[in-house]
Amino acid sequence: MSLSEQDLYIAGAIGLLTLCSVITRASFNLFGHRIPLSDKMRRALLYAPAAALTAIIVPTLLPWVPGSNAALVDEKLFAAIIAIVLFQRTRSTIIMIVGGMVSFWLIQALFSFW
Do 27 and 67 share a structural domain?
no
Spacing of C-alpha 81 from chain mean position = 17
- What is the domain range of residue 1? 1-36
Residues 16-61 pLDDT 10s: 999 998 888 888 778 777 878 889 988 888 888 888 888 888 888 8
CA distance 42 to 82: 33
Do 108 and 71 share a domain, yes or no? Answer: yes
- Has residue 68 got a pLDDT over 80? no
3: left (phi over 0), alpha (psi -120 to 50) or beta: beta
- Is residue 41 a part of any domain in this protein? no
Range name among 11-15, 32-36, 82-86, 109-113 with the lowest pLDDT average? 32-36
Enter the pTM of the model: 0.58
Provide the sign of the torsion angle of the four alpha carbons 67, 68, 73, 77, taken in this order.
negative
